[in-house]
Amino acid sequence: MKVILLQDVAKIGRKSEIVQVPDGYALNQLIPKRMAEPATTANLKRIERQHAEQAASHEAGAARFETAAKALRDTVLSIATEINEQGHAFKAVHASDVVTAARAADIDIDTGMIEMDTHIKTEGEHEIELIGKGKKVKFTIKVTKK
């Protein structure tokens, strides 16, 4: 029986693959446990449509990353926070603060795209990375006194 795998199954295949398995294994093991579904024409069309949507989403994400990376290379994002006399921030700068500053500059990113080794707690310029689609781009943020 041909089935479409709904999740990775050891020694059978990976998610979304169409595989041939014994009828008893499909009817008694895979289908009842929601690990697979019969490979009917309707299910095959649905899977193809899902793959097309995923490909379009992947391309849109790559374009979004490239646009953001290009904008951030040329821009220094400024983040204002409360800082004491020694130059230390009362509150660390997190990825969400960077996203807020980027959106204020009309740059569309989200927190999952920001990689920071540590939270920034000092005044001045700091270099962080934008991650997306297997690429990393470094950009600069400037932490200033509020």
Per-residue pLDDT of 112-127, as tens digits, reads 899 988 889 999 999 9
pLDDT of 49 > 90? The answer is yes
Half-sphere exposure for 86 (CA within 13 Å, toward CB): 4
Domains detected in the chain: 2-63 (3.40.5.10), 65-145 (3.10.430.100)
pLDDT of 146 > 90? The answer is no
pLDDT of 96 > 90? The answer is yes
Pick the more confident residue, 132 or 48.
48
> 54: which 2 tokens?
């995923």
Closest CA to 117 of 96, 94, 135: 94
Question: What pTM does this model have?
Answer: 0.67
For position 87, what pLDDT does the model report? 87
- Work out the average pLDDT over 71-95: 91
